[in-house]
Structure 1
Amino acid sequence: MSESRERASDETSDTMVDRVHGGRPVLWFLVKGNRVLVAAAMLAVAYAVLVGLGQFGPGSITKLFEPDPVFALFTPIIIGIIMGVSLVLTFNQLVLSEELGPVGDQRRRMDDAMAFREDVEDAVGRNTSPPEPSVFLRGLVESTGERARSLLEALEDDPHLDDATCEDIREYADGIVADAERVAGDLEGQQFGQFEVVESALEYNYSWKIYTGRRVRNRHADALPNAVATEFDELLNVLEFFGPAREHFKTLYFRWEIINISRALAYIALPALAVAAYMILIFETGDVAGTTAGIDHGLLVVGLGFAVGVTPFAIFLSYILRIVTIAKWTLAIGPFVLRETDRGSDVEWE
Structure 2
Amino acid sequence: MSDTDTSGNTDGQDRLGGTRLWVLLRLNRWAFTGAILLVVYVVLVLTSFLQLTPLRTIVENQDGIEFLFSAFIGAIITGTSIVVTINQLVLSQELGAIGDQRDRMSASMDFQHDIEDTIEEDISPPEPAAFLWELVDGIEERARELEEEMEDERDEGLQAEVNDYVEDVTGNAQFVKDGLENAQFGTFSVIWNALRFNYSRKIHDARKIRTHHEGALSEDANEKLSRMIETLRYFGPAREHFKTLYFQWELINLSRALLYISVPALTVMAIMIMYVDGTTLLGTTLGVDNLVWVTSAGFVAGISPFVVFITYILRIASVAKRTLAMGPFILRESARDEDLG
Structure 1-normalised TM-score? 0.91
- Shift in Å, 1:70: 1.0
Which residue number corresponds to residue 18 of structure 2? Answer: 24
Of 53, 56, 59, which aligns to 2:53?
Answer: 59
| 8 Å Cα contact 1:155/1:228 also seen in 2 | yes
> How far, CA to CA, are the matches of 2:59 and 2:105 in structure 1?
61
| 8 Å Cα contact 1:135/1:187 also seen in 2 | yes
Of 282, 290, 293, which aligns to 2:286?
Answer: 293
Q: Is it true that 1:316 corresponds to 2:309 in the alignment?
A: yes
How many residues are treated as equivalent by the alignment? Answer: 335
> How far, CA to CA, are the matches of 1:16 and 1:291 in structure 2?
52
**Matched AA of 1:31:** L
Structure 2-normalised TM-score? 0.93
CA deviation string 1:8-33 (max 9, x = no partner): xx96444555336xx63201221110
Which residue number corresponds to residue 219 of structure 1? Answer: 212
Matches within 5 A, 1:97-136: 97-136=92-131
**Matched AA of 1:296:** D
> How far, CA to CA, are the matches of 1:169 and 1:29 in structure 2?
37
Which residue number corresponds to residue 150 of structure 2? Answer: 155
CA RMSD of aligned residues (A): 1.8
| Partner SS state of residue 58, structure 1 | coil
> How far, CA to CA, are the matches of 2:61 and 2:196 in structure 1?
54
> How far, CA to CA, are the matches of 2:337 and 2:149 in structure 1?
32
> How far, CA to CA, are the matches of 2:150 and 2:155 in structure 1?
11
Which residue number corresponds to residue 248 of structure 2? Answer: 255
- Greater shift after overlay, 338-347 or 134-143? 338-347
> How far, CA to CA, are the matches of 1:36 and 1:258 in structure 2?
15
Which residue number corresponds to residue 245 of structure 1? Answer: 238
Choose between structure 1 and 2 for higher RCO, CA contacts under 8 A separated by at least 6 residues: 2
Which residue number corresponds to residue 269 of structure 1? Answer: 262
| 8 Å Cα contact 1:67/1:284 also seen in 2 | no
CA deviation string 1:74-107 (max 9, x = no partner): 1121111101110111112111112221111111
| Partner SS state of residue 49, structure 2 | helix
**Matched AA of 1:108:** D
- Greater shift after overlay, 241-250 or 329-338? 329-338
> How far, CA to CA, are the matches of 2:197 and 2:336 in structure 1?
20
CA deviation string 1:311-342 (max 9, x = no partner): 11111110010000000110011111111123
Q: Is it true that 1:203 corresponds to 2:196 in the alignment?
A: yes
> How far, CA to CA, are the matches of 2:170 and 2:13 in structure 1?
20
> How far, CA to CA, are the matches of 2:44 and 2:65 in structure 1?
13
CA deviation string 1:246-273 (max 9, x = no partner): 0000000000000001111111111110
The answer for unaligned runs of 5 or more in structure 2 is: none
**Matched AA of 1:18:** D
| Partner SS state of residue 93, structure 1 | helix
The answer for unaligned runs of 5 or more in structure 1 is: 1-9
| 8 Å Cα contact 1:11/1:18 also seen in 2 | no
- Greater shift after overlay, 48-57 or 200-209? 48-57
